[in-house]
Amino acid sequence: MTSSIFTGLSAFPLTPLHDDHVDERAFTGLIERLAAAGVDSITALGSTGSYAYLTPEERARVAKLAVEHAGSTPVFVGVGGLRTSHVLAHIDAAEQAGAAGVLLAPMTYQALTADDVFELYRTVTEHTELPVIVYDNPGTTHFTFTIDLYARVAELPGIASIKIPGVPTNPEEAREHVAGIRAVVPEHVTIGVSGDAFAATGLNAGCEAWYSVIGGTLPEPALTITRAAQAGRTSEAVAESERLAPLWGLFTEFGGSLRVTAAIAEHLGLAPHQCLPLPIQGLTEAQRARVAQVVDELDLA
């Protein structure tokens, strides 16, 4: 176990919109809720925080609000963009906001080569002193990292962590998968699992961090899983994850974690109705009723 701040539970809050403007009160409410719950870090403007949909000005403002309301909890800020120069501008804004690190996914419109992506991270790590989390999220970027590219990028000075997109469900295979990455990246670079349904397995398999969607809205169950895994109580972590299986089921059934998490936040009064950026419409009324039922049954409110 390392003393890096890139360990434990990193909670990814939504950036709720209202009438196409950032709802600053809802956003700062989420941040304060996370800090109070004792998450290990907050990652603002992750995919869950809709970074890709916001203007540079909105992103700078959200980064600033996150740091101001997080107290002593470290705040990481998503700085992805389609153009390298835009990424650098987002990094400058994150620095000015007081971020403790930045999260960077290789967003694509035209497909990128491995060399394109390596040069992006090289340029970024030359540009900033802030530690960088490599954000491997093929579901949104449609870019697939190889183990070789993990190794090349992780060698760059300033790379602090790699956010991987889930692990095999079989615990033995998960352990081999994480060990395979661990073998090629420097020791100071932490490996963090994402894909909430995989978190317990990933943490038990040796991931030092969980970059968590649900932790940004429902920090308590995410902390239960994280603290159990960190203490070596592997079956307790698995049991809590299995208790949440109806939630993971909704993620699969309703097209991913974002719409479901937004519906939960809206149901709990943490975000205004239809808080996602259009054209993302959010769940239907029938789907929202199913979400509310699961929230009640699992006592998540």
- Which residues of the shown chain bind a second copy in the complex (CB under 8 A)? 20, 47, 52-54, 82-85, 106-107, 109-113, 115-117, 119-120, 123, 139-140, 142, 255-256, 258, 277-281
Integer CA distances (angstroms), 149 to 113, 115, 152, 169, in order: 11, 9, 5, 23
Distance of closest approach, residue 211 Cβ to a second copy, in angstroms: 16
Q: Which is nearer to a second copy, 28 or 123 (CB)?
A: 123
Distance of closest approach, residue 143 Cβ to a second copy, in angstroms: 10
Q: Which is nearer to a second copy, 53 or 175 (CB)?
A: 53
Q: Which is nearer to a second copy, 229 or 264 (CB)?
A: 264
Q: Which residues contact 177 (CB under 8 A, 6 or more apart)?
A: 167, 168, 205
43 beta partners: 76
Distance of closest approach, residue 208 Cβ to a second copy, in angstroms: 27
Distance of closest approach, residue 226 Cβ to a second copy, in angstroms: 25
Q: Which is nearer to a second copy, 8 or 81 (CB)?
A: 81
Q: Which is nearer to a second copy, 128 or 201 (CB)?
A: 128
Distance CA(163)–CA(41), nearest Å, equals 14
Whether residue 9 contacts residue 222, with contact meaning beta carbons closer than 8 Å, is answered with yes
Q: Which is nearer to a second copy, 81 or 221 (CB)?
A: 81
Distance of closest approach, residue 298 Cβ to a second copy, in angstroms: 24
Distance of closest approach, residue 7 Cβ to a second copy, in angstroms: 27
The DSSP secondary-structure symbol of 158 reads T
Distance of closest approach, residue 82 Cβ to a second copy, in angstroms: 5
Q: What is the 3-state secondary structure (H, E, C) of 195-219?
A: CHHHHHHHHHCCCCEEEECHHHCCH
The one-letter code for the residue type at 94 is: A
Q: Which residues contact 110 (CB under 8 A, 6 or more apart)?
A: none
209 beta partners: 8, 192
Q: Which is nearer to a second copy, 11 or 117 (CB)?
A: 117
Distance CA(273)–CA(252), nearest Å, equals 22
CA Rg value for the chain: 18
Alpha helices in the chain (DSSP H): 24-37, 56-69, 84-97, 114-127, 138-141, 147-154, 171-182, 199-204, 219-230, 234-243, 245-253, 257-267, 285-297
